[in-house]
Chain A
Amino acid sequence: MAGMMTVAGVDLEVEERGVGRPLLFLHAGEGLGVERPWLDRLAARFRVIAPSHPGFGRSALPDWIGTTDDLAYLYLDLVAKLGLKDAVLVGASFGGWIAAEMAVRNTAAFSKVVLAAPLGIKVGPRDVRDIADMHSMTREAYLDLAWADPSKGHLDLTGYSDADLQALVRGREALTLYGWKPYMHNPRLKPWLHRIDKPTLLLWGNRDRIVTPAYGEAWVREIPGARIEVIPQCGHYPAWEQPDAFAAKIAAFAA
């Protein structure tokens, strides 16, 4: 069920489902997608806590919030407010970037970290993209890079209310605010990834061409003890495209 919570003065929409070990799920730039199956798959094993990032869903975006640093501190405050312990931290794509920003600061509430195709670091030469420029291509070209089966990523806006459309537009603007420049990464993040001191799993779709599995290998090199698992027939959004495999791998890793 979704409720509103005030954290650090920010009104956040937080979806909570299931019982058991807490799992904080940080959604991708496409939004939380409460109607999609991944939250239920995770909620079968965990108490899932899934905030909509400021500017997404019904979450407010105050003037003073504007970077992934802000989001990291905000969610560390959320974790403290909920008193989470021994929790699993899961972030997907843009949410994986936020999760990494949290984990380099403080992992005390977490026992495991799962990053599913995270954005957020610069790996290659300065004139080579690590992260596909999703904002310089058509929707069709983007779906082709982001999905093993692009038809699954199609958004059918018929039946969207004005409020739904406003939420979609607000979310797109918020992602831009956080990730436009430098494009979807923080140059200061990679040097601190060694601070992630909890077991970390990188999950990657074999057909992800937004950030390729090779980019995932770079994360593995930076985070002590991390490993990567590649999911077949899967693009940039494992939670969305392969929800069963996504949930099963997280459950196995957290066990």
Chain B
Amino acid sequence: MRVWYFSEMAYHPAWDEGLKRGSLRVVLPNSEVDPHVAHKLLNRYFDEFAACDEAGIDIMVNEHHSTATCMTVSVPMALSIIARETKTSRLLSLGNPIANRPDPVRVAEEMAWLDVLSGGRLEMGLVKGAPYEIHPANTNPARLMRRYWEAHDLIIKAMSTTTGPFNWEGEYFQYRNVNIWPRPLQQPTPPVWMTGLSVESGIMAAEKGHVIGTLLSGSVAGPMFDAYRKRAKELGRTAGPDRFAYAACVGVGATRAEGLRRADLIADYVRTAPVVAEPFTNPPGYNSVNANVGMLKGGGKGFVRDRNGNPVEHRTATVQQFMDADTVFAGTPDDVYDQIKSLNDRVGGFGHLLFFGQGGHLDHKDTLENIRLFGKEVMPRLRELNPEPTARRTAAE
């Protein structure tokens, strides 16, 4: 198993105000940001990413917009800095919200450039993005996935074409001269990732052979991974654990109490980040007709689910409740390994753990110790669990 540390680079000093106003996202005015505090936090967060390189842990970055939950506005900007500050960690962009991007060729250029800069350490997530990203980007939520797939196909083609300019006259994107320089170091493209929460997402990713990642609920991951394996089998392929990624908050400590304390602070992120003003949670078209019918009938609320698939009250859940939902792995290195192994066995094996190790309230010292202890005591054992295949698959295979 590979482990990818990530942090959303939260601006937690504004969380209380966001909670008071009922939204940490989209409408919380940026008067709640003190740019001097943000300056210190951003630089601190990059120091934490750099520590992963020494600890033998890979690195993931994502992006969100108009929010106190995440100050990363641009994955390529953040990864560029990290690429220069690290030597061996692989770098996962998870990712570019390509249905919200007006210029997919620019995405291809930036990703190829990063791959070259980092010496071929890039993994490239092409993601749909969360529903509350629609308003800040002002992209049309209707037919979002149609736009996603056109952007996806164009990015892959732009990155893997080496025979000179091609043209693209699509439904959403038009170019007369696509010919990106430099081209990616990993040929034909860096490994491609998607994200999702549904069985449908699992099936779509299987058809492309991409890595699929999900988060925070073991009961969501299981059916999605199953659907992927089933579809891959129908297509005559084998989908090993390296096709599956799972994100959880991880707190590890020398004692169980210390691990739980760290996890509890990181889990504050899950307690706050979903707090969004109602109109931005489900723009028409973002979810399927059937999913929306289910919501109108009173179901479908909350994406953190316990092992029986029932919603977990994310605002108030305890660490133990989050652990019961596989949202949090916490305790001593042995505890954390056992919990990861338990989920791994229940979902048929996953090859990537997305290690959410900084949730805002965890301070710098604790964050570094969490990373170092994980790297020293948990990481080596996870490497033996679902060892990585020797040949990495890429999008064009």
Contact = CB atoms under 8 A, between A and B. Distances in A.
A and B found bound together? yes
Interface string B269-288: 00000000011100111000
A165 B297 contact: yes
Interface in A126-173: 135-138, 157, 160, 162, 165-166, 168-170, 172-173
A171 B284 CA distance: 9
B293 A165 contact: yes
A160 B298 CA distance: 13
Given A135-B283, A175-B284, A170 B289 contact: yes
A173 to B, nearest CB: 4
23 contacts: A63-B146, A135-B279, A136-B135, A136-B280, A160-B296, A165-B296, A165-B297, A166-B289, A168-B296, A169-B289, A169-B292, A173-B142, A173-B284, A173-B289, A174-B142, A175-B284, A176-B140, A176-B142, A176-B283, A176-B285, A180-B140, A180-B141, A181-B138
Contacts of B135: 136
Interface in A86-116: none
Interface residues of A, number: 22
Contacts of B293: 162, 165-166, 169
A154 to B, nearest CB: 15
Nearest to B139: A181
A66 interface: yes
Pick from B280, B285, B297 the residue with the most CB of A within 10 Å: B285
A219 B252 CA distance: 65
A157 B292 CA distance: 13
Contact of A137 (B138, B146, B279): B279
Pick from B140, B142, B280, B292 the residue with the most CB of A within 10 Å: B142
Nearest to B143: A177
Given A170-B289, A181-B138, 5 more contacts: A136-B135, A136-B280, A173-B285, A174-B142, A177-B140
A162 B138 CA distance: 30
A14 B278 CA distance: 34
Contact of B279 (A138, A162, A172): A138
A66 B297 CA distance: 28
B99 to A, nearest CB: 13
Contacts of B280: 136
Contacts of B146: 63
Nearest to A134: B279
A181 B140 contact: yes
B222 to A, nearest CB: 27
A66 B279 contact: no
Interface in A20-79: 63, 66
A13 B280 CA distance: 31
